[in-house]
Amino acid sequence: MVDQITKIYFKTIIQGRLEFGSAKSYDKLVKMFDSRAETYHKNDVIFTSDEIFDEEKLTLEIPRFVGQITEKRFKNTIALLAYSAQFAVTGSIRAWMSEAGKVMHYALMEPDSDRAAVRSFLKGRKLVKEDGREQEAIDALSKAIEKYDRHAQAYERRAKVVFRMQNYHDAKRDYTKSINLDPTIPTSYYGRAKVHMIEENWEEAIADFNQALKKSVALQPVYWKARRHKAACHLKLKQLTEAEFDLKLYSNRKFAADDINSKYKGWALFNFAKLLMEREEYVDAIAALDKALALEDDVRREVTVGEILRTRSIIKKRAGKSGHVKDLKAAAEAGDALAVKMLNTKTPRAPRKKKA
């Protein structure tokens, strides 16, 4: 009797889009796709060509796949998609396999061929990360666009550079162009939303941050950056219920140490506590501030220890709890100017009347 091997399945997310730019490249890949799936992978892959290719658009599109997949099928599918990416002129596909919330495998599949548009884009994208080389980055990305005027990723990266140079008008134009060409890129919505925030167009910013959330997954840093900034916009508009929802999610999220979002846990907990204070949920508000104070200094960007201590002092006083004076003094010692002012203007006690 032959023992059956139990297959183990893991949560898998795959999403993205590749654009081929010409019927020749598209047709060549479509002919190869199913043949390669059968020859190299014994058809143990997630997708067939009929499910993901769009002949009218000359694209390969996976809006979002979520399922339970074996590790072998995942690796086979990634290999086939990586092969497909080399026929494309622009686009990317991302894939995650996880177990109990922990990422086991991550793969990014994108063009890396000798096509001029591809080489110029890769050069420009690399230069975007280097301070002082902004104009070189713009030139390389502009060249990619000249070679292929539907290069949504090049528009998005160029927008990022000009945004950094504080040219917000051109940044918004390029982000919008990127969105119109490829509405699946979350960083395009995120970037345009940041421009809306600078212009104090809070409602427009929220709409774009919502799109960034829809187009990304919680395993991507951009998802949580959008969540945090959306909360800030809701606070500006006094939309406290909406802000509380975003802040609670952000505050409860465990970020890797190298994730930029980890730096703002203190800010999220602080603002979450202030919302709880407005609802007179003082115990939970104090608990949130306790968590913020327990964090390391480098994960409390945009909020100081003094601010946290002063706010905890106010909440303790409202709740009738002891320790509020001690917190206020500690806030003043930490350099919080408002705490110093509150201590100096504290109404002195009236002198006791002498007994007759």
Q: Is residue 53 part of a domain?
A: yes
Give residue 346's pLDDT: 63
- Annotate 310-324 with b (16+ C-beta within 10 A) or e (fewer): bbbbbbbbeeeeeeb
- The token pair at 81 is 């998609």
Helical spans, DSSP H, in the chain: 23-41, 49-52, 71-85, 116-128, 134-147, 152-164, 168-181, 186-198, 202-215, 221-236, 240-252, 265-278, 282-294, 305-319, 324-333, 337-344
Q: Is residue 179 part of a domain?
A: no
Q: Is residue 18 part of a domain?
A: yes
Please report the DSSP string for 1-22 in residue order.
Answer: -PPPPPP-EEEEEEEEEEE--S
CA–CA distance, 51 with 61 (Å, rounded to integer): 9
DSSP state of 110: -
Q: Is residue 83 part of a domain?
A: yes
In this structure, are residues 109 and 86 in contact, taking their beta carbons and an 8 Å threshold?
A: no
Please report the DSSP string for 4-70 in residue order.
Answer: PPPP-EEEEEEEEEEE--SHHHHHHHHHHHHHHHHHHHTT-SS--HHHHEETTTTEEEEEEEEEEEE
Q: Is residue 249 part of a domain?
A: no
Q: Is residue 331 part of a domain?
A: no
pTM for the structure as a whole: 0.92
CA–CA distance, 36 with 40 (Å, rounded to integer): 6
Chunk the chain into consecutive blocks of 10 residues (it has 356) and report each block's average pLDDT, rounded to whole numbers: 69 98 96 96 97 97 97 98 98 97 95 97 97 97 98 98 98 98 97 98 98 97 98 97 97 93 96 95 97 90 94 96 96 96 72 52
Give residue 5's pLDDT: 58
In this structure, are residues 179 and 192 in contact, taking their beta carbons and an 8 Å threshold?
A: yes
| Domain count for the chain | 1
Domain that holds residue 20: 9-109
Q: Is residue 275 part of a domain?
A: no
- The token pair at 262 is 């980890």
- In this structure, which amino acid lies at residue 243? A
CA–CA distance, 253 with 265 (Å, rounded to integer): 9
In this structure, are residues 209 and 189 in contact, taking their beta carbons and an 8 Å threshold?
A: yes
Q: Is residue 200 part of a domain?
A: no
Give residue 345's pLDDT: 85
